[in-house]
């Protein structure tokens, strides 16, 4: 069974099924299409399926032309999970958020696997890409995959290969970012490597699925802890009247032993603010307390409150209160040059300012209309940045430093600026660094 499946990958006769068509799944879909595989793209969101069938992309950095070309050639989007039996590979790219208690919510993974289970057949490989705690593939997916009598490693193959997408990063793509791959058995790993080496320049094998799961968490915990450190340093430096951004630029001239991390208004995206808590939760099963991770989480999650306090202080210096002030937030995506709103600190700041009585508006060239979100609601559209608009606001917050923003225009005409991204290098009387 293993040899037959590997041969289907090598000859491009294999049909690839990808479940979850967001920031991870859609680029992977297009990559397999580009090299000549037929792809069935699964999602429960009918709007996404309709957009793809029309040849339209719903993700800003993915051109519609690529989608249209794939639809013409070898892409078939569907909401019909019963078609899973038609594919040779099933790659699961669904969300793994935290619940309200900051515990892992892998319900999307489990529900997806259960939806696919009745249609699994011999000669398929299942790969989970969603970030999760070590042991998920073995503890949750393995029993579901074998529930119909198939034996993993013999009849069907199971791997974990964490996503490493970086939306907006033009230097690295799905093709060029090395791919970690761990299998439940050596045969599973062999099949998984063959699945991914068709579309990824470098596949990095690891011994087990748990190792692959832990690798992904370490990558993101490394960032979360270091960002927590530099955010804490920013608060200390601010009290000492030191520009932390100047300090970082100076420290980065050291050619060894230092990696620059940059402070901000908080962590955003679907990985860095969430993934570390997957390990924190799992570590409790072993009686362990992940102090570094939790401390970094406390620091990073407190940053929106810190920014709001800086806005309050800046307005007070102008003899104004937050209540009743008009505040313009520049950039509400979680990082520069993307339209991704997941866990954006700008949104948390907007909510806090609104609760304090501020009239909050935003301007973001990548987010023309505030999207529907599970936990946040604003009936707003992006404001066009013009002199007459800017002068009308009591305070302008630099929340996300998109390259498309005219920072000179803002500096020239804003009454007050709170810069949470270190965009303004020079000192201005009306610019407060947060």
**Positions of E strands within 54-175:** 75-78, 89-92, 124-128, 156-160
CB 220 within 8 A of CB 271: yes
Residues acting as catalytic residues:
271
Surface-to-core class of residue 336, CB atoms within 10 Å of its CB (0-12 exposed, 13-18 middle, 19+ buried): middle
Residue ranges covered by each domain of the chain: 2-212, 244-433
Per-residue pLDDT reduced to its tens digit, 34-43: 999 999 999 9
3-state secondary structure of 369: strand
pLDDT of residue 382: 97
Integer angstrom CA distances of residue 27 from 42, 57, 63, 80, 352 = 14, 11, 11, 21, 34
Integer angstrom CA distances of residue 134 from 164, 205, 259, 416 = 17, 16, 27, 47
* DSSP letter (8 states) at residue 151: P
The CATH class that applies to domain 2-212 reads alpha beta
Q: How many residues does the chain have?
A: 434
Between CA 374 and CA 47, with CA 20 as vertex, the angle to 5 degrees is 65
CA separation for the pair 289, 281 (Å, rounded): 9
Q: What is the DSSP string of 386-397?
A: -HHHHTT-SEEE
pLDDT of residue 118: 97
Q: Which helix (DSSP H) or strand (DSSP E) does residue 352 occupy?
A: helix 345-355
Task: Tell me what the pLDDT averaged over the chain comes to.
Answer: 95
Q: Cα–chain-centroid distance for residue 179?
A: 17
CB 188 within 8 A of CB 146: no
* Average of per-residue pLDDT across 246-255: 97
Evaluate if residue 419 carries a pLDDT over 90: yes
pLDDT of residue 259: 95
pLDDT band at 250 (very low <50, low <70, confident <90, very high): very high
CA separation for the pair 208, 164 (Å, rounded): 18
Per-residue pLDDT reduced to its tens digit, 175-233: 999 999 999 999 999 999 999 999 999 999 999 999 999 999 999 999 999 999 999 99
pLDDT band at 372 (very low <50, low <70, confident <90, very high): confident
pLDDT of residue 363: 98
Q: Show Cβ contacts of residue 185 under 8 Å, excluding neighbours closer than 6 positions.
A: 152, 153, 157
* Average of per-residue pLDDT across 72-80: 97
pLDDT of residue 413: 97
Per-residue pLDDT reduced to its tens digit, 121-168: 999 999 999 999 999 999 999 999 999 999 999 999 999 999 998 887
pLDDT of residue 375: 80
One fold for 2-212 and 244-433: yes
Surface-to-core class of residue 165, CB atoms within 10 Å of its CB (0-12 exposed, 13-18 middle, 19+ buried): buried
Q: Does domain 244-433 have CATH number 3.40.190.10?
A: no
What is the phi-psi region of residue 422: left when phi exceeds 0, alpha when psi lies from -120 to 50, beta otherwise?
A: left
Per-residue pLDDT reduced to its tens digit, 101-127: 888 999 999 999 999 999 999 999 999
Tell me the percentage of the chain whose pLDDT exceeds 70. 100
Largest CA distance in the chain: 75
pLDDT of residue 9: 96
Evaluate if residue 321 carries a pLDDT over 90: yes
* DSSP letter (8 states) at residue 137: I
pLDDT band at 266 (very low <50, low <70, confident <90, very high): very high
| Highest mean pLDDT (candidates 163-167, 290-294, 353-357) | 353-357
pLDDT of residue 165: 86
Could you tell me the pTM of the whole model?
0.92
Surface-to-core class of residue 149, CB atoms within 10 Å of its CB (0-12 exposed, 13-18 middle, 19+ buried): exposed
pLDDT band at 272 (very low <50, low <70, confident <90, very high): confident
**DSSP-H helix ranges across 45-169:** 46-53, 64-73, 107-116, 136, 142-145
* Average of per-residue pLDDT across 69-98: 96
Strand ranges of the sheet holding 417-419, from the earlier edge strand across to the other edge: 359-363, 326-330, 395-398, 417-419, 431-433
């Amino acid at each position: 069974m293993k040899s037959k499946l590997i041969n289907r990958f090598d000859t491009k006769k294999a049909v690839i099924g990808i479940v979850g068509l967001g920031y991870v799944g859609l680029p992977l879909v297009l990559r397999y299409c580009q090299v000549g595989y037929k792809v069935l793209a699964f999602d429960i969101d009918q709007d996404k399926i309709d957009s793809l069938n029309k040849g339209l992309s719903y993700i800003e950095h993915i051109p519609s032309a690529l989608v249209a070309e794939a639809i013409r050639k070898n892409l078939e989007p569907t909401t019909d999970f019963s078609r899973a039996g038609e594919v040779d590979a099933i790659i699961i790219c669904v969300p793994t958020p935290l619940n309200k208690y900051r515990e892992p919510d892998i319900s999307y993974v489990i529900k997806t696997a259960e939806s696919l289970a009745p249609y699994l057949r011999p000669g398929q490989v299942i790969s989970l890409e969603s970030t999760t705690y070590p042991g998920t593939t073995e503890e949750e997916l393995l029993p579901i995959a074998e529930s119909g009598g198939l034996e993993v490693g013999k009849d069907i193959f199971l791997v974990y290969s964490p996503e490493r997408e970086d939306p907006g990063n033009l230097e690295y793509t799905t093709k060029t970012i090395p791919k970690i791959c761990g299998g439940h058995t050596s045969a599973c790993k062999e099949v998984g490597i063959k699945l991914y080496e068709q579309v990824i320049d470098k596949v990095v094998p690891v011994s087990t699925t748990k190792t692959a799961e832990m690798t992904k968490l370490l990558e993101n915990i490394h960032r979360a802890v270091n960002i927590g450190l530099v955010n804490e340093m920013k608060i200390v430096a601010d009290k000492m009247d030191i520009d932390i951004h100047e300090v970082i630029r100076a420290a980065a001239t050291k050619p060894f032993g230092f990696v620059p991390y940059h402070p901000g208004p908080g962590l955003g995206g679907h990985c860095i603010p969430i993934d570390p808590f997957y390990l924190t939760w799992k570590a409790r099963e072993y009686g362990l307390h992940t102090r570094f991770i939790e401390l970094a989480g406390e620091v990073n999650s407190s940053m929106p409150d810190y920014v709001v306090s800086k806005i309050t202080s800046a307005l007070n210096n102008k003899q104004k209160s937050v209540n009743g002030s008009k505040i313009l937030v520049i950039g509400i995506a979680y990082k520069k040059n993307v339209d991704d709103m997941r866990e954006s600190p700008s949104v948390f700041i907007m909510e806090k300012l609104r609760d304090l009585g501020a009239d909050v508006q935003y301007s973001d060239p990548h987010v023309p209309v505030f999207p529907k979100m599970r936990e946040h609601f604003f009936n707003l559209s992006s404001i066009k940045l013009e002199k007459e608009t800017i002068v009308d606001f009591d305070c302008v917050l630099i929340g996300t430093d998109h390259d498309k923003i005219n920072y000179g225009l803002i500096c020239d005409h804003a009454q007050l600026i709170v810069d949470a991204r270190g965009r303004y290098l020079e000192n201005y009387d009306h610019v407060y660094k947060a």
